[in-house]
Chains A and B, each alone.
Chain A
Amino acid sequence: DIVMTQSPLSLPVTPGEPASISCRSSQSLLHSSGHNCLDWYLQRPGQSPQLLIYLGSNRASGVPDRFSGSGSGTDFTLKISRVEADDVGVYYCMQGLQTPPSFGQGTKLEIK
């Protein structure tokens, strides 16, 4: 099974400042189609997870352009250009290349 490792696990950020979360996989997530099979999800407090970024770098519908995903192979990054209060929650990366799909441990973003 593919193991996903996120860092940091806790991320205090001042509003208006940028934030970055790293995600590493134990195997390459590059699909034969050329896509990297890595998604990012946000789980706000008390809510269900929601898809933010799919296939490594594509924003899901309705996701602000403050969010961006990058990376390839085994190293991926989620960046928030300017953090807002509504961005508070736990961010998870997930690989969907192999079954079972697997999640990182989660990164808790909080506002300073």
Chain B
Amino acid sequence: EVQLLESGGGLVQPGGSLRLSCAASGFSFSNYAMAWVRQAPGKGLEWVSGITEVGGNTNYADSVKGRFTISRDNSKSTLFLQMSSLRAEDTAVYYCAKDEILVAGVWDFDSWGQGILVTVSS
């Protein structure tokens, strides 16, 4: 059974930093691209960042480009999101999502973590 378990969230002041982790199990982590998707309180889903299987290619939403860094440690089956220069509008539940390999280069999220809340407030 695929499991994705996020950690590292919490309350942080504007301008601060936070590092999210997503521990994966139940599948061959190094064979799949991964992504972070967030959901602000009462709002819809917003893709934040994605990374290819071996981490050679990363992408970011314009809203976080230059402030967030996605990475992965395939030896530990763990996905990361380093967030810096945090703003109030980054407040959201952050989900780790696994990209199923259906069509090369096409995103399909077949498994999601339970989500972790990040609150940016003074």
Q: Which of A31, A37, A103 contacts B45 (CB 8 A)?
A: A103
Interface size of A in residues (CB-CB distance below 8 Å): 27
- Considering only residues 45-89 of chain B, those with a C-beta below 8 Å from chain A are 45-47, 50, 59, 61
Instruction: Please indicate the chain A residues that have their CB under 8 angstroms from the CB of B102 in the complex.
Output: 35, 54-55
- Is A48 touching B114 in the complex (CB atoms < 8 A)? yes
- With A and B bound together, what is the CA distance between A43 and B50 in angstroms? 21
Give the size category of B's interface with A. Answer: 20 to 34
| Chain B residues positioned under 8 Å from A111 (CB to CB) | none
Task: Determine if B59 and A99 form an interchain contact, defined as CB atoms under 8 angstroms apart.
Answer: yes
Main secondary structure of the interface of A (DSSP, over half): loop
Q: Which of A54-71 contact B (CB under 8 A)?
A: 54-55, 60
Whether, in the assembled complex, A13 has its beta carbon less than 8 Å from a beta carbon of chain B, the answer is: no
Which chain B residues border A50 with CB–CB below 8 Å?
112
Indicate if B44 sits at the interface (CB-CB under 8 A).
Answer: yes
Cα distance A104–B47 when bound, in Å?
A: 12
Cβ-Cβ contact count across A and B, 8 Å cutoff: 67
Contact call B47/A102, Cβ cutoff below 8 A: yes
A39: contacting residue among B59, B109, B113, CB under 8 A: B109
Tell me whether A39 and B108 are in contact (CB under 8 A): yes
Contact code string A79-107 (vs B, CB < 8 Å = 1, else 0):
00000000000101010110111111110
A49-B112 contact, Cβ under 8 Å, with A55-B103, A99-B59, A100-B61: yes
* A51 and B111 alpha carbons, distance in the complex (Å): 7
Contacts of B103 in A (CB 8 A): 31, 33, 35, 37, 55
Instruction: Give bound CA distance, A96 to B46, whole Å.
Output: 13
A41 to B102, CA, bound (A): 16
Are A49 and B95 closer than 8 Å at their CB atoms? yes
CB closest chain-B residue, reference A39? B108
B47 near A48 with CB under 8 A, answer: no
**Residues of chain A whose beta carbon lies under 8 Å from any beta carbon of chain B:** 31, 33, 35, 37, 39, 41, 43, 48-51, 54-55, 60, 90, 92, 94, 96-97, 99-106
